[in-house]
C-alpha cells in the first residue's frame, strides 16, 4: 500500500494505544454506569486485544461521582492476564488509595494553565507539582510506575493560547520525578497540526528523556488529523476512548475523545500494527452504545471497515 507521506519520512511500525474510555470516557457522562457494566465493557475491550487501560481516577467521589467505584473496579480488573492498569491521582491521598487498590501505574495530572488547574483540582500549578514530590517519595520501592499528564496542553478554554514553554516546564518536573511517559492532553479539542509539531519538537529538545503520549479530543473534528501529524513526527503512543466517549466536567465545550475504533481503523489502513482487532472494537463500541443509551460520536462502528460489503438486493435502486 502506498504511503501518504513523502519519501524519506518513516512512520512508526507499531503504535501503542491506551484505552481511556472507562475513565475519561465516563467521567462526564450523564449516565453513571454500575461497576458490573464497566467491567463488561472492559472485558469486551480485552477480547478485542486492548491491553492497556487508564481505568479510573482516585479523585473525590463528590467531584466525579461516576468514578466513585475506583477501588472496586481496579480490584476486579487487576488480575486479568496481560492487562496493564493505570489510574489518575490528584494528590497523596489519591495515590495511597490507588496503591492499596493494586494499580500498575499512577498518572499525576496537572493543567498547563492556571485557570483550568484551579477549576480541575482547586490548586495552583505549583502547588500541584509540589504535591507530586510527596507522591513520588511515597511510591519509591513500591514497583508502581509513575506517569504524568498535562491537561490543556494545546490551549485553555479560559485563557486561550497556552505557551509551549509552560508545557515544557511541567514535563521537565515530571521527568525529574522519574516519569518516563508524559501525556499531552487536548482537553477541549484545541490542538491543530502546527501546535502538535511545535510541542513535540520542543519536548524533544527540552526534555529528551520523556516519551510523549498524545491524547486528542475530536471537539472540532480534526482529532485524527492531529494523530496523522503525530505519526509523521514519529510519535507512537496515543490515548483514545471507545465510541468517542468523554469530555472534561471542568472545561466548557469539552466533548468526546478520538474514538478507539476510528483510530485503529486509521492505523490498520496505514499498515501500522497495534495488536488490537477492529472487529472486536466495533463490538465493544456497540456494547458501549447500549450501556449509555444513546448514539455515540464514533464513525467506524456505524459504517464498518472500508471493505465492508452489503447485499445489493436489499438496497433501493434508482428509478428512471
Residue 165 burial by CB count (10 A; 0-12/13-18/19+): exposed, middle or buried? Answer: exposed
Residue 1 lies inside a defined structural domain of this protein: no
Provide the pLDDT for residue 27: 87
Is 314 among the catalytic positions? no
> What's the grid cell of residue 293?
443509551
Residue 211 confidence (pLDDT) above 60: yes
pLDDT tens digits, residue range 142-161? 999 999 999 999 999 999 99
Domain that holds residue 266: 16-314
Q: How many CA atoms lie within 13 A of 245 on its CB side?
A: 29
Provide the pLDDT for residue 60: 87
Provide the pLDDT for residue 1: 47
Provide the pLDDT for residue 29: 84
Distance set, CA 47 to CA 41, 62, 81, 159 (Å): 10, 33, 11, 42
Cα distance between residue 298 and residue 259, in whole Å: 5
Provide the pLDDT for residue 2: 47
Provide the pLDDT for residue 227: 98
Residue 226 confidence (pLDDT) above 50: yes
Provide the pLDDT for residue 185: 96
Residue 95 lies inside a defined structural domain of this protein: yes
Residue 184 confidence (pLDDT) above 50: yes
CATH number at residue 283: 3.20.20.70
The answer to whether the beta carbons of residues 219 and 187 sit under 8 Å apart is no
Distance set, CA 79 to CA 19, 49, 75 (Å): 17, 16, 8
Residue 243 lies inside a defined structural domain of this protein: yes
Residue 10 lies inside a defined structural domain of this protein: no
Provide the pLDDT for residue 255: 65
How much of the chain, in percent, has pLDDT values that exceed 90? 80
Residue 3 confidence (pLDDT) above 80: no
Residue 203 confidence (pLDDT) above 50: yes
Cα distance between residue 140 and residue 113, in whole Å: 29
Burial 179-208 (b: 16+ CB within 10 A, else e): bebbbbbbbbbbbbbebbeebbebbeebbe
pLDDT tens digits, residue range 67-126? 999 999 999 999 899 999 999 998 999 999 999 999 999 999 999 999 999 988 889 999
Residue 6 lies inside a defined structural domain of this protein: no
pTM: 0.93
Residue 198 lies inside a defined structural domain of this protein: yes
Q: Please identify which of the residues 33, 184, 195, 248 carries the catalytic annotation.
A: 248
298/315: higher pLDDT: 298
Total domain count for the chain? Answer: 1
Cα distance between residue 159 and residue 114, in whole Å: 9
Residue 5 lies inside a defined structural domain of this protein: no
Provide the pLDDT for residue 14: 98
Cα distance between residue 121 and residue 110, in whole Å: 8
Mean pLDDT of the chain: 92
Provide the pLDDT for residue 320: 64
Provide the pLDDT for residue 246: 83
63/290: higher pLDDT: 290
Provide the pLDDT for residue 250: 53
Amino acid at each position: 500500500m502506498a504511503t501518504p507521506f513523502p519519501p524519506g519520512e518513516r512512520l512508526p511500525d507499531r503504535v501503542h494505544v491506551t484505552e481511556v474510555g472507562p475513565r475519561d470516557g465516563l467521567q462526564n457522562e450523564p449516565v453513571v454506569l454500575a461497576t458490573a457494566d464497566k467491567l463488561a465493557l472492559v472485558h469486551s475491550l480485552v477480547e478485542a486485544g486492548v491491553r492497556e487501560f487508564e481505568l479510573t481516577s482516585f479523585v473525590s467521589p463528590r467531584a466525579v461521582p461516576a468514578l466513585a467505584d475506583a477501588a472496586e473496579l481496579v480490584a476486579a480488573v487487576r488480575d486479568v492476564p496481560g492487562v496493564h492498569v493505570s489510574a489518575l491521582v490528584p494528590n497523596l491521598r489519591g495515590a495511597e488509595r490507588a496503591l492499596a487498590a493494586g494499580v500498575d501505574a499512577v498518572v499525576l495530572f496537572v493543567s498547563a494553565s492556571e485557570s483550568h488547574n484551579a477549576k480541575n483540582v482547586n490548586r495552583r500549578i505549583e502547588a500541584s507539582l509540589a504535591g507530586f514530590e510527596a507522591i513520588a517519595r511515597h511510591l519509591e520501592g513500591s514497583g508502581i510506575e509513575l506517569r504524568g499528564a498535562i491537561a490543556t496542553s494545546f490551549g485553555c478554554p479560559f485563557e486561550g493560547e497556552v505557551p509551549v514553554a509552560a508545557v515544557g516546564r511541567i514535563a521537565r518536573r515530571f521527568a525529574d520525578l522519574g516519569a518516563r511517559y508524559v501525556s499531552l492532553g487536548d482537553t477541549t479539542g484545541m490542538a491543530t497540526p502546527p501546535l502538535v509539531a511545535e510541542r513535540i519538537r520542543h519536548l524533544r529538545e527540552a526534555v529528551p528523556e520523556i516519551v510523549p503520549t498524545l491524547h486528542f479530543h475530536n471537539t472540532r473534528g480534526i482529532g485524527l488529523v492531529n494523530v496523522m501529524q503525530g505519526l509523521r513526527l514519529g510519535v507512537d503512543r496515543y490515548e483514545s476512548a471507545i465510541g468517542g466517549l468523554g469530555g472534561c466536567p471542568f472545561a466548557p465545550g469539552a466533548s468526546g475523545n478520538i474514538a478507539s475504533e476510528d483510530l485503529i481503523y486509521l492505523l490498520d489502513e496505514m499498515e501500522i500494527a497495534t495488536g488490537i482487532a477492529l472487529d472486536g472494537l466495533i463490538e465493544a463500541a456497540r456494547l458501549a452504545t447500549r450501556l449509555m443509551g444513546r448514539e455515540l460520536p464514533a464513525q467506524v462502528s456505524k459504517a464498518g471497515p472500508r471493505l465492508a460489503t452489503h447485499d445489493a438486493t436489499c438496497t433501493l435502486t434508482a428509478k428512471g
